[in-house]
Amino acid sequence: MSGNTKRKDAGNFAWVAIGELIGRVFQFFYLKLLTTAIGTENFGVISFAQSNVSFFVLFATLGLDSYGIREIAKNKENASSLINSILTLRLLLSLLAYGVLFAYISISLQSEFVQIITLIIGLRIFAESLHISWVFQGLEDFKVSALRNTAMYFFSFAGIYALVSSPSHTTLAVIILTSVMISVSLAQIIYYILKIDPVKVSINFARWKRILKQSTPIGISAFFFIVYNNSDIIMLGYLRSDEEVGLYAAASKLFLIAILPAMLIQQIFYPKLSKFGKPKESITVLSKYIQILLSLATFISGLFYLYSKELILLQFHQSFLAAVPILEIMSLKIFFSFVVIILTTSLLAWSRQNLVMWAVGFSALVNVLLNYLLIPKYGTMGAAWTSLGSELIVIMILGFVMLKLLGHSLLYQIFKPISLGIISVASSFFAFNFFENAIISSLISILVFLILLIISKIISYQDLMEIISKKGK
């Protein structure tokens, strides 16, 4: 990998990481304010509505994000017409998706309050269909996406801080969050029009057919992912109390924060893996990707398990303490989720979307059946263990596929990053026993982790300095 490429990668990662870090700081504060103001039950209602809406968002995007990134990365020069076709298609799909959501909510047996919340959150369908971060990822220019995320979380925080202070403001809170999401998506597309290229309506049924033939398996895979990530909250909403949904959703929010580093790094490596197109041609890039993510997976999973109680109290009100056992199970899921991200990113980049679709589909089916059997009796704990099991099923199936494609050579590379993560977590454990302070112990373990990353040459000191200084363009 050339020096210029390394600098560009470091710069891109810096933009993504810093943008997300700043954004997540604002998210931390607005989530703390929101859950304290509206309580566990109303937070459960919002989470239940978000889980329902996620299926309709998926229909509106239908795998077009991943397809667009992959195709733009392969051919940046002719990206304009593809972008116009995808944006037009997404807008039409979003109109259809919201219409179906409206019909579904109209006949549902939920309370009027839940129906209103769901329809407001449903407007996010348009925000998701209009936002074009996938374009900038395909072009390997991450500044705009980073700024979008920062702006979205900042204005969400500002709105919640200024206007939401009691359970009666639940509907207002949803309006604020949805309006901000739509606004920043529109701002991003206006930037693209002014700075890069005008957006035109492009109706070409033959081209749409070709696009959908490639993107639909990706979209179906994403649907199955949502089934086994969100069916637990939906079933809890129907079979248990709103309070239990709120507790489970709180643990899920922290889980999503934990896997954020994997999602950020995926944004950098997915276009690179897509450029090669074939597994054995991308072995060097894949090896680096695997080692970085597995070291992070072990480290983050271990820290979340050690400090589950402290994390719940840090992010939420004391009334959410019952979510600690759920988070302990989800901390184990963190590791497996990182592995799933490695497998799916690689296979999608190599146009193996059909394999991903069937693997995730089978896992989703098992997830729904187990949730149906376990949630009535075991509640949130049954849902958490089912979610963990779903990740394991995907790993077993797609891991076998990867071994068939690449052989056993990559297996020998997993021990170093996992050992590195275990040593770093152990340092935090011993530091906590000495200092009895979770923050000090975590900082010590982060320092140990970074030192071990450099010593083991998973990343170099120069890479780290370039990320910090944002020298890449």
Q: Would you list the DSSP string of 394-407? A: HHHHHHHHHHHHHT
As a whole number, mean pLDDT of residues 185-211 equals 84
Per-residue pLDDT at 177? 93
pTM of the model as a whole: 0.71
CA distance 32 to 38: 10
Q: Report in angstroms the alpha-carbon separations of 150 from 205, 299, 446.
A: 36, 26, 24
Region of residue 9 (phi > 0: left; psi between -120 and 50: alpha; otherwise: beta): alpha
In angstroms, the CA 229 to CA 256 distance is: 11
343-352, 372-381, 439-448: least confident range: 343-352
Q: What is the pLDDT of residue 103?
A: 92
Q: Judge whether residue 472 has pLDDT over 60.
A: no
Over residues 69-97, the mean pLDDT reads 84
Task: Identify the band that residue 28 occupies on the pLDDT scale cut at 50, 70 and 90.
Answer: confident
The two three-digit tokens of residue 269, written as one number: 């490596």
Mean pLDDT computed over every residue of the chain? 84
H or E stretch covering 451: helix 438-455
Percent of the chain clearing pLDDT 70 (strictly above):
90
Give yes or no for residue 310 having a pLDDT over 50: yes
What percentage of the chain has pLDDT greater than the value 90?
A: 29
Which residue type, as a one-letter code, is found at position 233?
Answer: I
State the Cα–Cα distance between residues 207 and 210, nearest whole angstrom: 5
CA pair distance 160, 157, nearest whole angstrom: 5
74: pLDDT confidence band, cut at 50, 70 and 90? confident
Domain that holds residue 364: 3-469
Q: What is the model's pLDDT at position 61?
A: 83
Number of domains in the chain: 1
CB 47 within 8 A of CB 298: no
